[in-house]
Structure 1
Amino acid sequence: MSRRKTERQLNLVICLLSTRRHLTAQEIRATVYGYAEAESESAFKRMFERDKRELRDNGIPIQVGTGDAVSGEEGYRISRTDYELPEIELLPDEALVLGLAARAWRYASLGEAAANALFKLRSAGVPVDGEAAPGLTPAMRTDEPAFGPVWQAVRDRRPIRFDYRKPGQAEVERREIEPWGIVNLRGHWYVAGHDRVRGSRRVFRLGRIRGEVSVLRTGPGVVVPEGVDLRSVVAGHRAEPERAATVRVRTGAAHELRRGALRVVAGEREGSDGWDTLTLPYTDTPDLVRRVASFGSRAAVVEPQDARAAIRAHLAATAERQGAEPDGGGAPPGGAPSAPARGPRSADQLRRLLMLVPYALGRDVRVPEVAAHFGLSEKQVVSDLSLLWMCGLPGYTPGDLIDVDLDAARETGEIIIGNAEALAQPLRLTADEAASLVVGLSLLEALPEAEGLEGSALKRVGEKLRSAAGAAVASLADAVQVRVETDEGVAETQRRCADALESGQRLHLRYLSGYRDQVTERDVDPMGLVVQDGHRFLEGYCHLRGDVRLFRLDRVLDLVVLPYAAEVPEGVGRRDLSSGVLQRSERDVLVTLDLEPSARWVTEDYVCESVAERSGGGVRATLRTPVPEWVLRLVLRLGPECRVVAPAALAEEAAAEAGRALAHYTLDGEGAGARSAR
């Protein structure tokens, strides 16, 4: 059925593109091959209405006009002006950044849309290359299940309804909002809009949406207020620190606290041991308690006194929680059930054929190339070509049908298509395709190589895309924004890495490992730059580890460009980032945690092997990590909100470390942390 449906719809497209007047439904039924199988008038009407709807969903603009001047009956045609991709001329620097923009979505839900956009542009003779500038890797991820329906709602200007759980809140709340747009900030996606229930502007993190998002298709559409700045709305959603605490930290430890401190005063040393004093900004006491507690016995709050009392209670509860017996709230989770396999869809096949014909005409195109682009087997590509061979203009004689050399496709892999003038021009970009490229361009602003292009190539290609795609696409692109925040220090580090990459020189890094709370010295041969999940990375061959590593630039404490050439070992290549920056291994330790409802954010911020619901709104999460010490810090941070289920040795160490940290706080305030402040 799917193959016959694709054949019928392709014949309909060819017919409506070739007619000079609007054809009535009965004329289409009588002339377009495939509609004769409708057994009745009502069956034909249902079939024709479905075909029209699906063609429009694929971006094919079917016009409605007068088909019969006498009866006034409606007729249909496809205007070539609306169907065909307008001519786009790109300079070499514009083609480069456009290829990079498409690459930004390679591992995200809009990856297919971006890749298809490049395919259509190449069909029109635009010289874009999705593999250009291999040293640069802009990348966005859309792991949140809510991203797809929220994107569609923003695109179609429709309200949405969903259940939402605030941080630290056990119960979910039903929300109904009019979405103005979505923004990626610090690696997370947010939707901003008007909350109908509360009657005011609100911002929601997509990772905290629970269950399905309902797009409300009835009623008035969404009207975005003029002049609204989505980035400012989302960025303003966070609170700024208003208070300062005095915190003591062990020498060579608690580096994240040191980096966020307003002031660091070195204390006396006893060999390699000692305490330093930090002035640490914070917003509220619970946040300060979690940050300091994560470093266990290597950090202690001196002032204010309410924070000292709060962290003492936090650590005591942590030690008690790790010693508690399992509450039976959830069974160890297994793998999530896999989705049922989906067979070939008629809409996908039709879209491929409409892109393939203009791409193959006049070009040397091979079956393996097309199979690789669409993720198909070569056998499926040949099957597509055999279907194309059965389509053409009404009449369907040999002179009307599209000519395909199937023998060449099967024997040599060459794709030879003729007599297909009706489909010679590529279909214009859909809203998703064009918007994916325009949004991807905004991510390039975070790359050092784009600094000289922001006012030229980036701007020029963005304007050309918007012009070619139309006002609706430009509006969608404005409603989806990416913001990669950084400070001048990180920007300077990135510029120096880019210079070393271009000149082929080795780098020496003094690097803070976020996993281990440890500073190491590294010699690194740079291989590329990556922007992903709101962070910037240097990718290179690390001589300390003897392998390729990714280094977050905001954790590079010092960088020296060495006066000799980088030498990446033969056969060593760049990492596959399809699963994200975090590289997992079978050697990693599996850690299972019972999380209270207020700690569910762990499953949003970190990659989990599995997550199972527990009674009371909590979850049981299993994480894979190469550094169990990192999970220990996470457990200390969460305190009574978390219990280590496995391994048992980690639970015992968490309780013991909480006890060692608790020794800094005595009931009379004379613990080690207090004495060291004198």
Structure 2
Amino acid sequence: MSASRTERLLNLLIALLNTEYGLRRRELREKVYHDSTSTDVAFGRMFERDKGELRQFGFEVETLTDKGWGSDDPATTRYRIGKESNRLPDVSLTPEECTVLILAAQLWEHAALGSAALDAVRKLQAAGGLVYAELPAGVQPRIRPAGQAFEDLVAAMHAQHPVSFRYLAGSTGKEEERLVEPWGIGSRFGQWYLVGHDRTRGDKRFFRLSRLASAVTVLEKEAFTPPSGFNVRAELAGLAELPVRTAVVDVQHGRLLGLRKRAVAGSSDTPSASGAEQPGAHQPGAQQPGAGSDRLIVPFRDAETLGEELASYGPRVKVVSPPELVTAVRRRLSAAADFAAAPVPPVIFPAAGAGNAKHRRKRTSEDQLKRMLQLVPFLAHNQGLHISEVAARFGITRKELEEDLRILICSGLPEGYPDDLLDIQWDDDHVFISQDLDLRPVRFTVEEACALLTGLETLNGLPELAEGGALESVTVKLMAAAGEEGLKAASLSGPEVGPDNAASLDTAREAIRKGAQLRLRYFSPQTDSVSERDVDPLRLYSLDNTWYLEAYCHSARGLRNFRLDRIEELHPNGSPVSATAKPAGSFPVKLFTPNDDDTVVVVELTRRGVGLADDYYAERTAPLPGGGLLAEIRFGSPDWLPMFEAQHGGTARILQPEALAASARDWVDAARAQYEV
């Protein structure tokens, strides 16, 4: 969509909104399109495309037909947009309800639904429904979607397009091509699932997103109709959790303390020297662990989940049984080795200031029009804001905002008088609007309704919110405002965000409230060691049900993020927090705090792995043919890089520095060699 088309669509929208009788196609062609050269057929196609664009923004174009009086008096068709049917209903929220709503919107960290949630909040702000709300320090949960596959599947689900992908079947262990109508996506037992109609098998099926073996292809030329009243949470409630099984693994002596803590009784903590039978020796083909290794018995439920973890440990661990787990680890290591050996693309990033310094979806003219439709009512309810503040609220530069405003002040009713144009002034850097042509916040899209309502449903897992009435009341108000689109939110269900380790969470929250230092005993998987630290607790937040404590660490002399499930002991040390300790300025809190001694690494990501650029806060990105991505990422410890490459099994590889890339290749090759004996 070009800038001229953006302006044309805006003028078309204003014209259709501000007519009660409706406008004939001939009138629109002359007064809005100023079209006198194209054929009737070409103009008709353009007009239909524009109506489709307006429908995507939430505006339904009504078609009215006047029947003629006879054969010599043909019927007349008129078009208009009903203001009330397309307008967001009034929503009045209390400060407590606003707090809950903002928490729900911020659950989606940087996924596409995060943008939809932000758009929905802006609509409520523009309508005057949001008031100031202070977020609680101890309740800042977030949802981490399952990578690019999640993004593609949600988009296809809302657009009602079928999808295809390769899937690692749990029953056969083989990759199979699947053609699926995506009905719903939800989280269960810590895993994301797609529920839909498998056209190949002619029945409903459940697909674990972690088992997708390829990128998702959306069949945009096909469509489907989901079953009426479908509720993905209800569907997933019927799934039985996988039974607990045991894996036999050989681990280098003194390594992998975290894995050793999960090992069950009967594991050998020392290398065998007597030749006596060790756990797992009864397995077909199993031999005693080699010198310098211990044999452990580790409980698990899902081979793919444990396989991802064990693959990251590289040559420090070798799986003995079961065969399914051996296959899962070997497949990841082989994929990582093959990707590492592939030809290296040119490493070229956009020049500074080229607008693509950080990974984000390329802005389009559709984005600009959607933003301008939010901007007009926002300015009407927030008169006199500084232009820089307005730009910051919409996540754009001042230059982009001024481009929006210049288009807006040239838009209005067709062939209207000066009073029929949008009237916006910002000469003194404070933005005022005196004529808004009745552009009001439009009703929620299905993506916006899903983002907010799914977020509110997810917050039910937090006792301090579920016990109050604000969560229930704001959900009722949002359901009423969302209307039919709100019913479609049942196709999406988030994970549980309630903490498993409530005692540590309560201790940390109380220390934050009192301003008291904490002493903790912490296990670090990066260094494979346990350390004691004195910290100033600052705030708590989560990804799904994994909770983190952001604190100033006196040992490291800087901000650090500690996983609560890796804290072995936690108690006040009797000292107050230091006066200089302050939380990082960002919200949501980043899991990684950059430091001067970080290692900057260039990573290549496949299309399946592009979401890692956001997960690891890439500082620069550059697109690659086929949908892949180059990403420049900071890592606090270079020792962890081989684990990163092995863990992601063929979706990520290190390119620069070459020494670290070579080290990662050697790590993966050494790990794979253990299974080729």
What TM-score range do you get, normalising by the shorter chain?
Answer: 0.7 to 0.9
2:400 corresponds to: 380
1:429 Cα deviation (Å)?
Answer: 1.8
Separation in 2, partners of 1:344, 1:309? 47
1:175 corresponds to: 178
Give yes or no for contact 1:537–1:552 (8 Å, CA) kept in 2.
yes
1:354 Cα deviation (Å)?
Answer: 2.1
2:273 corresponds to: none
Give yes or no for contact 1:542–1:549 (8 Å, CA) kept in 2.
yes
1:281 corresponds to: 299
Q: How does 1:270-349 map to 2 (within 5 A)?
A: 280-282=298-300, 329-332=341-344, 335=347, 345-349=364-368
Q: How does 1:79-98 map to 2 (within 5 A)?
A: 79-98=82-101
Cα 1:498–1:478 change in 2 (3 A) is: farther
Q: How does 1:407-418 map to 2 (within 5 A)?
A: 409-410=426-427, 412-418=428-434
Separation in 2, partners of 1:2, 1:300? 56
1:56 Cα deviation (Å)?
Answer: 0.8
Is 1:427 aligned to residue 442 of structure 2?
Answer: yes
Separation in 2, partners of 1:293, 1:397? 69
Candidates 354, 369, 374, aligned match of 1:355: 374
1:333 Cα deviation (Å)?
Answer: 5.4
Superposed CA offset, 1:91-110 (max 9, x none):
21110111122222342223
Give yes or no for contact 2:247–2:321 (8 Å, CA) kept in 1.
no
Cα 1:470–1:631 change in 2 (3 A) is: same
1:278 Cα deviation (Å)?
Answer: 7.1
Corresponding letter in the other structure for 1:109: A
Is 1:109 aligned to residue 112 of structure 2?
Answer: yes
Q: How does 1:146-545 map to 2 (within 5 A)?
A: 146-164=149-167, 173-184=176-187, 189-200=192-203, 201-205=205-209, 208-218=212-222, 220-223=224-227, 226=230, 229=233, 232=236, 236=240, 239-243=242-246, 254-263=256-265, 280-282=298-300, 329-332=341-344, 335=347, 345-361=364-380, 363-366=382-385, 367-404=387-424, 406=425, 409-410=426-427, 412-423=428-439, 425-447=440-462, 449-453=464-468, 456-475=469-488, 477-484=489-496, 488=500, 490-532=501-543, 535-545=546-556
Alignment root-mean-square deviation, CA: 5.3
Identity %: 31
1:556 corresponds to: 567
Cα 1:544–1:186 change in 2 (3 A) is: farther
Corresponding letter in the other structure for 1:29: R
1:184 Cα deviation (Å)?
Answer: 4.2
Separation in 1, partners of 2:21, 2:167? 51
Corresponding letter in the other structure for 1:389: I
Separation in 2, partners of 1:649, 1:403? 61
1:4 Cα deviation (Å)?
Answer: 3.1
Give yes or no for contact 1:146–1:206 (8 Å, CA) kept in 2.
no
Cα 1:145–1:390 change in 2 (3 A) is: same
1:205 Cα deviation (Å)?
Answer: 1.1
Separation in 2, partners of 1:298, 1:541? 32
Superposed CA offset, 1:126-164 (max 9, x none):
125587446643333457333333112221333222334
2:282 corresponds to: none
Separation in 2, partners of 1:227, 1:384? 40
Identify the range of structure 1 (477-486 vs 332-341) with the bigger mean alpha-carbon deviation.
332-341
Give yes or no for contact 1:109–1:142 (8 Å, CA) kept in 2.
no
TM-score normalised to the size of structure 1?
0.75
Give yes or no for contact 2:142–2:543 (8 Å, CA) kept in 1.
yes
Instruction: Could you tell me which runs of 5 or more consecutive residues in structure 2 were left unpaired when the two chains were aligned.
Output: 271-291, 625-629
Superposed CA offset, 1:584-611 (max 9, x none):
668556899999x9x9999999969999
1:271 corresponds to: none
Q: How does 1:33-52 map to 2 (within 5 A)?
A: 33-36=32-35, 39-52=38-51
Separation in 2, partners of 1:264, 1:364? 71
Give yes or no for contact 1:160–1:177 (8 Å, CA) kept in 2.
yes
Separation in 2, partners of 1:565, 1:556? 20
Give yes or no for contact 2:169–2:211 (8 Å, CA) kept in 1.
no
1:28 Cα deviation (Å)?
Answer: 2.8
Give yes or no for contact 2:166–2:176 (8 Å, CA) kept in 1.
yes
Is 1:126 aligned to residue 129 of structure 2?
Answer: yes
1:66 corresponds to: 65
Larger Rg: 1
1:22 corresponds to: 22
Cα 1:333–1:491 change in 2 (3 A) is: farther
1:327 Cα deviation (Å)?
Answer: 12
Give yes or no for contact 1:207–1:604 (8 Å, CA) kept in 2.
no
TM-score normalised to the size of structure 2?
0.75
1:544 Cα deviation (Å)?
Answer: 1.5
Q: How does 1:506-655 map to 2 (within 5 A)?
A: 506-532=517-543, 535-567=546-578, 569=580, 572-574=582-584, 576=586, 581-582=591-592, 587=597, 626-627=636-637, 630=640
> Is the partner of 2:419 in helix, strand or coil?
coil
Separation in 1, partners of 2:160, 2:471? 27
Separation in 2, partners of 1:493, 1:472? 39
1:673 corresponds to: none
Separation in 2, partners of 1:327, 1:133? 44
Separation in 2, partners of 1:611, 1:363? 37
Separation in 1, partners of 2:670, 2:60? 68
Give yes or no for contact 2:523–2:568 (8 Å, CA) kept in 1.
yes
Separation in 2, partners of 1:611, 1:399? 46
Corresponding letter in the other structure for 1:281: P
1:113 Cα deviation (Å)?
Answer: 2.0
Give yes or no for contact 1:136–1:530 (8 Å, CA) kept in 2.
yes
Give yes or no for contact 2:249–2:321 (8 Å, CA) kept in 1.
no
Q: How many residues align structurally?
A: 628
> Is the partner of 1:361 in helix, strand or coil?
helix
